[in-house]
Structures are given as C-alpha cells and as structure tokens.
Structure 1
Amino acid sequence: METHNASSGSRVPWNKGKLTGQKPPLKLPEIWAIRTRLQMSANIRELALFNLAIDSKLRACDLTRLLVQDVCQGSHVGARAMVMQQKTQRPVQFEITEHTRLSIEAWIRVRKLTSIDYLFPSRLHASPHISTRQYARIVHRWIASIGLEDSAYGTHTMRRTKASLIYRRTKNLRAVQLLLGHSKLESTVRYLGIEVDDALEMAEQTEV
C-alpha cells in the first residue's frame, strides 16, 4: 500500500505546465501570416493541410483520415465536400474555397495521389495517414512560426477559426451549428464562447 501511494504521489499530471481549456481561433491577419510563410517556404503539403483545416472545420480525427476522393470530383477538387463525422456519425458539408482547391490540387500532383489514397499520407510506415498527434505538432509549429504562444492553441483552433469568423460576420448560430456538424445548439454556443441566454435569444429571432 505504501509503495502504491508513493508512486501515485510522484506521478506528474499530464497537463502540468500546460494551458488547458478552450483554444482560441485564429484571427484573419494570423491566418494570412501562416499561409504566407508556408507559401514562401514552398511547403506544398502543409499549405494544403492548413487551408483545408480552415475551410473544412473538421475535427483532427476526421481531417487526418480524408481520402482524395472525399474532396475530388474526377480529377479536380470540388467546391464542396461532405464527410461523415467519426464522433457523431453525422454527415457534415463544407465549402472548399478556390485557394484551398489550388493548394490541394498542387499537393495531389506532387505526391501523385490516386482517388483511393489518403489525402495526407504519413511519412511513417506504421501509419497510412498522418496521425492526430502528428497533426497537433504541425499546428503548434504553425502557431509558433508567427510568434504566438503555441501552448495556448491546438487542433481545435483550426476547427473553430472559420466558424468564429462566420458567426462574427452573420450572427447566425443555426448556420454555424450546421457547419460544425453539432447536434445541439448548446454545443455551438459553448464552442463560440457565447453567453447561453444571449445565444438562445438570437436563435429565436433568426427562426422563420
């Protein structure tokens, strides 16, 4: 018993020295700063990954498992895509903007990917696609590259970014709920960091 207590007491908490809680979204100048750095360094893979992460608003587990055929219509990347979410088993649709389509098409050409390949294959033989842990490390590197404290951000930063921009522009909670694939409005409210009462009042005003 004493040995057990001693080992428990010496265990280091997983979040020691880390900032926990909701991860903030990126602001427009920060998005463009990261995008420009990736373009200047000719990092085709990460530029495609960054752009698609912003556009898709997908969780890391869904983003990293995308197949080429999930975003391509024939030999071209489509303007829209639909993906079945692993967490909720609900489909979610998203727009793929022109600069994202171009960056993905460039990556597919360079990597010579086929329709049944993973869009972001792993460089490690043990995994067919990049892992969520690898993706998290990449996100932290992006954040640090523009001088932000990377421990304050994470993969959910990428998921929240466009949703937050859309909400600030439209104040349409229902639309953002659909874009994020949330089954409950309350989940969207928490994700955006809005006061619940204010959010419900706005949602009622936008109902037709």
Structure 2
Amino acid sequence: MTIANLPAIRACRPAWNKCHLVGQKRPLLPKHVWAIRVRLELAGNIRDLAIFNTVIDSKLRGCDLVKLEVADVYAAGQVKERASIIQSKTQKPVRFELSEGTRKSLEDWFRNPLMIGSEYLWPGRFHERLHISTRQYARLVRDWVTSIGLEPSSYGTHSMRRTKVAEIYRKTGNLRAVQLLLGHTKMDSTVRYLGAEIEDALAIAEGIEV
C-alpha cells in the first residue's frame, strides 16, 4: 500500500497587520507641530525637542535621523543653517535646512553632559549602542502624538518626514522642490509619497478655467 506524501498541516497564524492600520501615515498639521513643541518645552525635554525640530526640518528617514553625527550639523563653533548627508537607502546626497528654532534647540542640547565627546547627535544610553535605534525613535514619535491626543496608529516616523513637505506642496504645488527635499531619485516616488495631496491639487485644477 502506497502512502501519499501529504503536505504538513501548519497552525494558522494571525495576519501580521490584524488590528493595525496599514498604509501611508498621516503628516502632522502645523497646529500639531506647535502643540508637541509646547509640551516638550514645558516638560524641559531638551533632547526630544531637538530631535523633533530636527526631523521636521530635515525630512529624513528614521534610519538616517538616528545616525546623524555632530559634524553633520555643527561646524566652526555653531549649528549650520544648511546641512547635507548621504542617504542610507539611495546612497545619494540630500540637503536640508535648519531653522532658527531648530538651531536654538540643538545648541541647548549640545550643552547637555551626555554630549561631551559624543560623535553622534543622539547618543545611545548604553556603551554597546552608539546612537538611539530606529525602534527608540518610533517610540518617541508614538509618545509625541499621544501627548496631544492623536491616535498613535494613524501616525509614524514617516509622518515626521512628510509633515513639512506636505505643507510645502499644499502652499506651492511645486513637486520638483518636494522631490529634491525628500532626496527622491524619481518623480513618481514623490507623487506616490504625497498621496492625498495630489488629489487636492487636481481638485484645485478642476475649479479653475482658462
């Protein structure tokens, strides 16, 4: 009697995204940005305020933000007004601006004892970890949005990256500028990244006759 080789029966695992919202995370609105800043300032949380301001201005991916070095943003005894790094994902350079408020928060952070002799802008708390991890950064984002009453599942680290460019596009409609600021190599990547903002542009265009 021949015994057929039947496939092994495996226990069904729940889908990884069960009970989770997936897809593009929302950018913060200007009122959200200011609400988080005020809470961090009132709490005297100098490091988190510096991280928050830096990511809003730099528009960097989390993997690049956590690896920022002091030399990337600081030279000749002061914080740079503009900086440039090589992106981990594309190995292409991207430039970004540091506003006056961001530069001030970074200067305050540099005076913290944890920054003495540190190569990295956001040093880790343990000797084997030179800088904070992307997981730690994601937890910070969750804390920030929760602190102002937002639903944390609707926001993530890419919300921080998208926040300023979404506002720039909303006000100017300049896709090329957004592409450069995000460090995208292809325009269609920028179009997909903006998501709903493209629909907004089409709605505006439909309301204008020439």
Query: TM-score if structure 1 supplies the norm length?
Result: 0.88
Instruction: Give the structure 2 partner of residue 60 of structure 1.
Output: 62
In structure 1, give the amino acid aligned to 2:136.
Answer: Q
Instruction: Provide, for residues 13-49 of structure 1, a one-character-per-residue CA deviation record: whole Å limited to 9, x for no partner.
Output: 3222111100110000000000000000000000000
Please tell me whether the aligned partners of residues 67 and 115 of structure 1 are also in contact (alpha carbons under 8 angstroms).
no
Once residues 131 and 154 of structure 2 are traced to their aligned partners in structure 1, the CA distance between those partners, rounded to angstroms, is 26
**2:63 counterpart SS class:** helix
User: Offset at 1:124?
Assistant: 3.0
Instruction: Provide, for residues 54-108 of structure 1, a one-character-per-residue CA deviation record: whole Å limited to 9, x for no partner.
Output: 0000000000000000001222111000010000011000000000001011101
Please tell me whether the aligned partners of residues 83 and 92 of structure 1 are also in contact (alpha carbons under 8 angstroms).
yes
Verify: 1:5 aligned to 2:9, yes or no.
yes
Once residues 170 and 115 of structure 1 are traced to their aligned partners in structure 2, the CA distance between those partners, rounded to angstroms, is 42
Q: How many residues align?
A: 197
Q: 1:181 aligns with which of 178, 183, 186?
A: 183
Aligned Cα root-mean-square deviation (Å) = 2.1
Greater C-alpha Rg:
2
Instruction: Provide, for residues 130-163 of structure 1, a one-character-per-residue CA deviation record: whole Å limited to 9, x for no partner.
Output: 0001100100110000000001100000000001
In structure 2, give the amino acid aligned to 1:168.
Answer: R
In structure 2, give the amino acid aligned to 1:5.
Answer: I
Structure 1 segment 1-208 matched on structure 2, within 5 A: 5-7=9-11, 9=12, 11-111=13-113, 113=115, 117-193=119-195, 194-195=197-198
User: Offset at 1:127?
Assistant: 1.3
Relative to 1, partners in 2 of residues 1:2 and 1:66: Cα closer, same or farther, differing over 3 Å? farther
Please tell me whether the aligned partners of residues 68 and 113 of structure 1 are also in contact (alpha carbons under 8 angstroms).
no
Once residues 165 and 185 of structure 1 are traced to their aligned partners in structure 2, the CA distance between those partners, rounded to angstroms, is 18
Q: Percent identity?
A: 55
Gaps of 5+ in 2: 206-210
Once residues 156 and 4 of structure 1 are traced to their aligned partners in structure 2, the CA distance between those partners, rounded to angstroms, is 40
Please tell me whether the aligned partners of residues 167 and 176 of structure 1 are also in contact (alpha carbons under 8 angstroms).
yes
User: Offset at 1:116?
Assistant: 6.0
Relative to 1, partners in 2 of residues 1:4 and 1:102: Cα closer, same or farther, differing over 3 Å? farther
**1:21 counterpart SS class:** coil
Relative to 1, partners in 2 of residues 1:104 and 1:2: Cα closer, same or farther, differing over 3 Å? farther
Relative to 1, partners in 2 of residues 1:16 and 1:46: Cα closer, same or farther, differing over 3 Å? same
Once residues 107 and 116 of structure 1 are traced to their aligned partners in structure 2, the CA distance between those partners, rounded to angstroms, is 12
Once residues 123 and 111 of structure 2 are traced to their aligned partners in structure 1, the CA distance between those partners, rounded to angstroms, is 14
**2:96 counterpart SS class:** strand
Name the structure with the higher helix share.
1
In structure 1, give the amino acid aligned to 2:127.
Answer: H
